[in-house]
Structures are given as structure tokens and as C-alpha cells.
Structure 1
Amino acid sequence: MTNKKPFVIAIAAVSGGGKTTITSRLLDVLPNSIAIYFDDYDFEECPEDIVAWVKSGGDPNEWTISPLINDLLKVIHDGERRIDYILMDYPFAYGHKEMKEYIDFAIFIDTPLDIAFVRRILRDFEAAAIEVVRDDLLGYLSHSREAYIHMLKTIKPDSDFIVDGSLSLADIVEILREEIERRVEVNS
């Protein structure tokens, strides 16, 4: 890669859509890459009630994501090591006005809601009692599904590239690798 500035890639999907897994796999295939994971941060200024936040429009700008932006800028300006790609497991694509200027390419993994939901249940409730799983299922039906739909209506159309999340992991990673390399070449 000839650019001095790393190519910043935001990867979004609904919960269970494959963001973390695909980000991790892309680290293996993109040379000189580093990942930043949104879920690693404990944001102090963010909506307390996600359901109410979504019902009021789900504006990403209601999140103060300064710690994530500060870490991103440290990586961008790190002169000690070569970094060509910064992969961000990040739910908002270009939706957050402060982060928008740093993103070069926003990807949305379009995973069917049934697949994403099953993945999330398997991931989050592996050893949970059936009552806990039942309560989560009821919560999904009564309000959480609305958050998934909100992402499909707002973040998906705001992304540069949409990949079918029902494809195999290997196929998704290969499609994204090829598209990222093509975008970098075009922007060089």
C-alpha cells in the first residue's frame, strides 16, 4: 500500500450479524492491519435505555464516543509501526458526525434477522437456564426486534458496501478482501 494514512474500515451489522468474527478474520488476510472493537469500550455518555433510544429515533450522535475516536487517532498517527488497515467493529457506519470524517469505507453485513438472532442466543446464553432464554425471546418480540429493523433502515443504506451475511464466513471474507483492495487501489 502506498498511502501513509491507514485505510479505515467500519464494519456494521445487527447483533449476531458477524461483525466481530468477520473483523477478526479480516485481520488474518489484510497485511499490517489492526482492529478496534466498539464493544471493548464502556461509554459513559450514551443512552441508558436502548429501547427508548431506538423509539426516539436512535441517533448515534447521542453517544459520546471520544475514547474510541482517541484510540483510532492514536493508531492513525502511530509513526512507529506500519499500519495499512484499521478495521473497526463499529455499529454506526457514517451515522456519528464525529467519527464520520475518519472512515474511508463502511461495510454492512446484511445477515437475515433469524440467523443473527439464533447466533446471538447461542453466543450469549450457552449455559443459561431456559427461563433466561425465554425472557430474552419475549424481549426480542416486544421491543428488541425494533432495534434490528432500525439498523436495517438507517445504517445499512448509509454504508458503502453491503455483503450477504448468510454466505459462508470464507466467502464473506474473500468478497470483502477483494472489495477493500479494490477501494484502496481506486483511492491511491
Structure 2
Amino acid sequence: MQNSKPTIIAITGASASGKSLFSHTIYKELVSEIGEHGISIIKEDAYYREQSHLSMEQRIRNNYDHPDAFEHSLLTEHLKQLVDKKPIECPVYCYKTHTRTTDAITIKPTPIVLVEGILLFSNPELREQFDIKVYMDTPLDICLLRRIERDTVERERTIESIIQQYITMVRPMYYQHIEPAKAFADVVITKGGKNRMAIELLKAKIRQLIIS
């Protein structure tokens, strides 16, 4: 596959649906087989807009579950560069300051590119870049429990702030932008990021793509 077009695989679903665990499990297990030259991974979160021009109060109030929160045009351009076998400088986003840092991560072209995030199917031009589209279909009550556990530990947020954001932004945006995008998926996965059968099936497909 070294001389053919890279395959871009999108993995999307609700916040805390298991998409990060699913995609990173596939990435880590395949890296041990084929090396970092064979597969790379990009987080949509890295493309949250740069907000250093806003006050911290404004940043906190922003709706991070709406498509406008992301610079999808930049992600689209970066995926096109990887398809053209050119390296990209992926932004680095800080959840505590709610903006990008001054750092960037160089991602080199690989035969397989995994992209994971909540709103990957919301932008038509971005959606066109994906060769395989995967949707993680996890019940919202499970997602909320996982989100509370994650954000209190990893992002040092209060339970009250998490629930408030969930009621006013996360859940409404899910029904408006994320759940309808399931219609664009090639594969719908249940049972979350630990669905071993789904992991093995996608890994088998990736192996097939690499050797073809």
C-alpha cells in the first residue's frame, strides 16, 4: 500500500462513547505489529479553535459541542496534505485554558490514518475525506457517567459544572448534530470502546488494506 492513497478512518460518536478508547486500542495494537510508519492517529479535539483573544469567562461559556467550536477547515486541509504524503503540524489544545498552546505535533504521512472525535461527520467537506466511517453507538446515560468520571479526574472539574454543561450543551448538541450523523456511518459499533470483536474486525480490515 506504500504507493497508493492513504486510507483515512473516522471514528465518531457522543462524548465519552468509547471512541477514544476504541481508536487508541487499535492504534497501539497495530503499532506493535507494523510500527509507527504504518499508522497514525489524530484527535479532532486538537482542532478546537484558538481562543487566546477571549477572556477566560468567555472561553468557559462557549459551546464546545457545536461544530463551530472546531476549525474543521484546517483539519480538512491537514488530511488532504497527508493524502498528498506531506507531513502536518497538528495543533495542541489545552482543556484547562480552553485554547491552543504554542506547541504543535508533527504527524508524518502513513498508509492508515485514524481520526477520532465527536463531530467528524457534521462538515460535508471533512466527511468526504474519510474512506471508512465508524460510529460508536453508546447509550447517553453511560456516556454521562463516563464523562463525570473522566472530567473530575483528568480535567479537575466539579460534578455540578459537568452536569450543567451536559444539560445545556452536550445533550442538545448530541441530538442536533451527533446522533443524526449515524446515517453517514459505514459501521455502527455497540458496547463501547471495549468491544473486542469490533476491534479485531477493524484491525483485520486495516491489515488487508496494508498488504493489498
TM range (shorter): 0.7 to 0.9
Indicate the residue corresponding to 2:46 in structure 1: 40
Which residue in the other structure is 1:111 paired with?
138
- 1:116 partner letter: C
Deviations 1:128-186 (A, max 9, x none): 57xx202322442355322233345311122111000347343342233245567x49x
| Partner in structure 2 of residue 66 of structure 1 | 73
Cα displacement string for residues 88-139 of structure 1 (whole angstroms, at most 9, x for unaligned residues): 013334431221221111100111112211111111112757xx20232244
- CA shift digits 1:55-83 (9 cap, x unpaired): xxx6x478542321232223222279772
Q: Pick one of 118, 121, 125 that aligns with 1:91.
A: 118
In the superposition, relative to structure 1, how do residues 4 and 168 fare at CA in structure 2: closer, same or farther (>3 Å)? same
Q: Tell me what 1:6 maps to.
A: 6
Aligned residues: 175
Are the structure 2 counterparts of residues 139 and 82 from structure 1 closer, same or farther at C-alpha, using a change threshold of 3 Å? closer
Residue pair 2:119, 2:178 contacting (<8 A) in 1 also: no
RMSD: 3.3
Cα distance, 1:167–1:82 mapped onto 2, change above 3 Å: closer
TM-score (norm 2): 0.67
Misfit runs of 4+, over 6 Å: 79-82
Q: 1:42 to 1:139 in 2, by over 3 A?
A: closer
What runs of 5+ residues in structure 2 fail to find an aligned partner? 52-60, 88-107
Q: What code does the residue aligned with 1:157 have?
A: A
User: Residues 4 and 95 from structure 1, CA distance in 2 versus in 1: closer, same or farther, beyond 3 angstroms?
Assistant: same
> CA contact under 8 A between 1:61 and 1:97: conserved in structure 2?
no
Amino acid at match of 2:146: R
Matched residues in 2 for 1:152 and 1:75: separation? Answer: 26
